[in-house]
Amino acid sequence: MGKNSNLNAKPILRRILEVHEVGILIPFGMMIIIVGIVNPVLFEMGSVKAMTRAYALFGIVAIGQTIVILTGEFDISVGSIAGFGAVLTMELASHNISPALALILALLACAGLGLINGLVVVKLKISSFITTIAMLYVARGLCFVITKGYPIYPIPDWMQELGLLEPFGTSFGFIFFLVLILFFQWMLFNTRHGKDLVAVGNNERVANLLGIKSERIKIGAFVISAVFACIGGFLLACQMQTAMADIGRGWELKVIAACAIGGISLLGGSGSFIGTFIGICFIALINNGLVLMNVGTHWQDIMMGVIMIFAVYMDLFKKKKSQMVRVKE
């Protein structure tokens, strides 16, 4: 009886340890302990609120990036689209257009940029990396065309209030981020669309043979990514109480790093939105911990690059290991 229970426990324990979120939580927990010992100020309420306020918006953009990466593609244009969405909303609102209508028009414009990304990748068969780098320059250029290099100020009153809103003692952006994470995590594992998303990322050719419309899914992923980038940029402008042409600059690589750290396979077809959430928390903890330790931003970038390389290497290692197991079976 005792031997059988031990035998049953081993496969269960192995399955738990193979869940990639568990693998991320171990180093994440260690990081919390180390940073907490070195600088406990990081976990004071004021510091925690500042972190959630800043990184939640970045996390909203990362959700859209996760959807694209799950299909086996990349969206390098998200930072510039975030900036474009923010300045377009505020510019339209400053010209006697209803702020709500201004936001809707900006969302539609950003969705249009995402649609262009998707169509170029799917129909013209141009690499998503190249396509979205081109869109990065286009969208950033549009930011400067709209603003002429000057910040847009003041912004409408309700947008200022939204930026300062703190339901349940935290920012509106963080609450919205959590709701999105929970919804998409449920969607990924409990709906046909979520399963199709993973299937396309795993093997697009097989997915097509199974009747899955892979082209439509990829185009939709780019559109959703652009819309979430717009929302993230808009909420950042609300928090800053102004919109500038360089909003979102540098977000593209940081959100990809968050996905990689969170266990999202950069080859596509594997990962979860909970993993993305953990990746965002990991980056927030590292960056804020290093700031409180008076470490320069260039060293933060170096550490982020090293961590990202390690995360990608571990992903490739797991892929090779799983392939070897399949061959043996």
Whole-number pLDDT of residue 72: 93
pLDDT reading at 7 higher than 50: no
Within 8 A by CB and 6+ apart from 26, the residues are: none
Residue 139 forms part of a structural domain:
yes
Whole-number pLDDT of residue 17: 45
| pLDDT tens-place string over residues 159-183 | 888 888 888 788 899 999 999 999 9
Of residues 17 and 140, more confidence is placed in 140
Dihedral of alpha carbons 163, 169, 174, 175, sign: negative
Residue 206 forms part of a structural domain:
yes
The residues facing 152 across adjacent strands are: 243
Q: Is residue 11 very low, low, confident or very high in pLDDT (cuts 50, 70, 90)? A: low
Whole-number pLDDT of residue 61: 96
**How far is residue 293 CA from its own chain's centroid?**
26
pLDDT reading at 227 higher than 80: yes
State the Cα–Cα distance between residues 8 and 4, nearest whole angstrom.
Answer: 6
Residue 174 forms part of a structural domain:
yes
In the chain, the number of structural domains is 1
How much of the chain exceeds pLDDT 90, in percent?
53
| pLDDT tens-place string over residues 231-250 | 999 999 999 999 999 999 98
Q: Interhelix angle for 128-147 vs 99-123, to 10°?
A: 150
Residue 231 forms part of a structural domain:
yes
Residue 241 belongs to domain spanning? 45-248
Buried b (16+ CB within 10 A) or exposed e, 259-273: bbbbbbbbebbbbbb
Residue 52 forms part of a structural domain:
yes
pLDDT reading at 285 higher than 50: yes
Tell me the whole-structure pTM to 2 decimals: 0.87
CA distances from 283 to 108, 153, 177, 287, 301 (A): 30, 31, 16, 6, 11
Residue 5 forms part of a structural domain:
no
Instruction: Tell me which residue of 34, 24, 58 sits closest to 278, measured CA to CA.
Output: 24
| pLDDT tens-place string over residues 55-111 | 899 899 999 999 999 999 999 999 999 999 999 999 999 888 888 999 999 999 999
Whole-number pLDDT of residue 26: 67
110 neighbors 229 (Cβ within 8 angstroms): yes
Residue 219 forms part of a structural domain:
yes
Q: What mean pLDDT do residues 116-126 have?
A: 97
Q: Is residue 13 very low, low, confident or very high in pLDDT (cuts 50, 70, 90)? A: very low
Residue 151 forms part of a structural domain:
yes
